């Protein structure tokens, strides 16, 4: 197949646009849409210090590459990487993340569950079984991410979330009946570093292709606990449905955004946890989980 925009060989077919694209035109289209998302949400402005949350996987590595390529020459914008070692043997490798960041001349800051909570995720699973591994992991990681980025002076946290991830999150909140999360808006709040997701409108397979074209050494191994994630089931369900109805993922992401925008005012309340001092919505998930795991009321 030839590229729909020039005469070179195409490397991808976009079902939703009907276009075949060569590497050059795919890159132009991909980066153009990521830049548009940034403009539309006013995600980056002069003076920003952007902490790219890196897992070492394709999405976050691709975000780092993209941000460095587009904003790396701007003297008024700083970009650095942060990574959190959950302590999952054979999976998480902070040194590999550091290496990827180093290739783009980006400084990488590393911290861990052990450093913050005195426990690795493997130890938590040993104590509590692996059924809730992902809910523990997700809550604890989110808290460290925010606090660590804040300590480093970040004004934004860039996440590798793609269209598929975002559609899954909306659906997961529906399936959990979690209205609070479905309606929670990202508004500026004391102590809470705003998150930006430049790839939010880009399908996972396009992010994978972009990463394969430009990023070396990203991690392709899956987490040994990922079978416990509700996300895995939801992913399969949406992919299956999207195959027959190609705009499903966009529809879910738009629904999530419109639900939040439709609110007169934000109904969710941000407060400061009196135990750990972090900004939280409702009950502090981190303190609840640490109590559950250690039996010690903090
Ligand atoms: Fe954590 Fe679950 Fe993701 Fe593994 S799959 S890193 S346990 S959230
Ligand atoms: Zn707390």
pLDDT tens string 144-160: 999 999 999 999 999 99
From residue 32, alpha-carbon distances to 36, 66, 98, 238 in Å are 6, 11, 27, 26
140 lines ligand 1 (CB under 6 A): no
Q: Which bound ligand lies closest to the C-alpha atom of 227? A: 1
Report pLDDT for 71.
97
Determine the atom of ligand 1 nearest the C-alpha atom of 223: 4
Dist CA 141 CA 113 (whole Å): 8
Determine the atom of ligand 1 nearest the C-alpha atom of 228: 2
Q: Which bound ligand lies closest to the C-alpha atom of 286? A: 2
Closest to 211 (Cα-Cα) out of 72, 90, 81, 55? 55
Instruction: Give the torsion sign (CA, 275, 108, 91, 158).
Output: positive
Neighbours of 154 (CB within 10 A): 24
pLDDT bucket at 267, cuts 50 / 70 / 90: low
Structure tokens at 227: 């079978």
Residue in 137, 144, 160, 161 to alter for ligand 1 test, most ligand atoms within 8 A of Cβ: 137
125 lines ligand 1 (CB under 6 A): no
User: For the chain, what are the domain ranges?
Assistant: 1-29, 41-266
First to last CA, the chain: 62
Determine the atom of ligand 1 nearest the C-alpha atom of 224: 4
φ/ψ of 266, rounded to 5, equals -65, 125
Q: Give the mean model confidence (pLDDT) for residues 54-82.
A: 96
Report pLDDT for 265.
62
Report pLDDT for 264.
60
Q: Is 159:242 a contact under the CB 8 Å cutoff?
A: no
Report pLDDT for 115.
95
Report pLDDT for 239.
94
Q: How far is the CA of 147 from the centre of ligand 2 (A)?
A: 12
Dist CA 211 CA 218 (whole Å): 8
Dist CA 103 CA 69 (whole Å): 12
134 lines ligand 1 (CB under 6 A): yes
Q: Look over the chain and give the mean of its residue pLDDT values, rounded to a whole number.
A: 91
Residue nearest (by alpha carbon) to ligand 1 atom 4: 223
Task: For the domain covering 41-266, report its CATH number.
Answer: 3.40.50.620
186 lines ligand 1 (CB under 6 A): no
Q: What is the pLDDT of residues 172-192, one digit of tens each?
A: 999 989 887 888 765 666 788
Report pLDDT for 206.
97
Element (H, E) at 261: helix 248-261
């Amino acid at each position: 197949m030839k590229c729909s925009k020039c005469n070179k060989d195409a490397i991808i077919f976009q079902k939703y646009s009907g276009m075949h694209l060569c590497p050059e035109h795919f890159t132009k289209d991909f980066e153009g849409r990521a830049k548009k998302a940034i403009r539309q949400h006013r995600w980056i402005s002069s003076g920003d210090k952007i902490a790219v949350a890196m897992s070492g996987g394709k999405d976050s590595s691709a975000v780092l590459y993209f941000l460095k390529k587009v904003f790396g020459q701007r003297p008024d914008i700083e970009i650095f990487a942060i990574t959190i070692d959950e302590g999952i043997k054979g999976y998480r490798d902070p040194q590999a993340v550091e290496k990827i960041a180093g290739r783009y001349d980006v400084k990488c800051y590393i911290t861990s569950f052990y450093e913050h909570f005195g426990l690795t995720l493997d130890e938590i699973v040993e104590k509590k079984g692996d059924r809730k591994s992902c809910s523990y992991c997700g809550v604890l990681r989110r808290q460290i991410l925010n606090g660590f980025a804040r300590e480093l002076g970040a004004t934004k946290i860039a996440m590798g979330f793609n269209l598929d991830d975002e559609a899954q999150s909306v659906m997961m909140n529906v399936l959990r009946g979690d209205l609070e999360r479905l309606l929670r808006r990202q508004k500026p709040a004391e102590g809470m570093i705003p998150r930006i997701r430049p790839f939010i409108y880009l399908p996972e397979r396009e992010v994978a292709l972009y990463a394969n074209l430009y990023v070396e050494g990203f991690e392709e191994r899956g987490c040994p606990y990922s079978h416990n994630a509700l996300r895995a089931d939801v992913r399969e369900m949406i992919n299956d449905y999207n195959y027959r109805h190609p705009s499903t993922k966009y529809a879910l992401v738009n629904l999530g955004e419109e639900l939040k925008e439709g609110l007169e005012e934000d109904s969710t309340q941000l407060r400061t946890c009196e135990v750990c001092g972090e900004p939280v919505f409702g009950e502090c998930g981190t303190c609840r989980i640490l109590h559950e795991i250690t039996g010690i009321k903090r």
